[in-house]
Amino acid sequence: MTTPLRTRIINWLDRHDREFAAQAQRERDQVLPDDRRIPADVMEMFAKYDEDIHKRNQLPVGMLFDFIRDQPTANTLLIVAEIGEQLFGAAILAADENDNTQFFAEAYGQWGPLVDAVLEECGLDYRDTLTGHRRRQLGSCPAIPRGPEHPENRT
């Protein structure tokens, strides 16, 4: 039985495959000057890597859970963890781009320092853990007024 959700998923997968194939073909067709040309074997390695990432990005979440259910290998667990890390980072980047304070307030409640770790890794401002509003990073704080004993204020 084909449900509307199944049809939508199949259509998304087909569209995603077509877009990937078209982009890969554009990259192969791009002609570079001889001094900028990448050797064919290196281009094949890049193409294989891109295809692997494309296939990985199409894995349904349920399949990822199936991968770790029955005595998974260390490699399988690392792959699933890497996908989770990338999803977590993408969610934080999207929330930051849209200044979604509600997301950050709830995310800090669930994952605390992991949120700060992603923000720091991406060079983004930290967020208030209760409100989700941006906090200034230490490097961007306004100058702290200094007393007369500070060397810059001595005459």
Check: CB of residue 51 under 8 Å from CB of residue 17: no
User: Tokens representing 153?
Assistant: 């204020």
Note the pLDDT of residue 147.
47
pTM of the model: 0.61
Residues in the chain, pLDDT under 70: 1, 5, 31, 136-155
Cα of 94 vs its chain's centroid, Å: 9
pLDDT number for residue 12: 83
The rounded Cα 32 to chain-centroid distance in angstroms is: 30
How far is Cα 61 from Cα 84, in angstroms, rounded to an integer?
Answer: 10
What's residue 112's pLDDT? 92
pLDDT of residue 136: 63
The residues facing 127 across adjacent strands are 134
> Which tokens in the block code for residue 146?
């200094």
Say if residues 125 and 136 touch (Cβ distance below 8 Å). yes
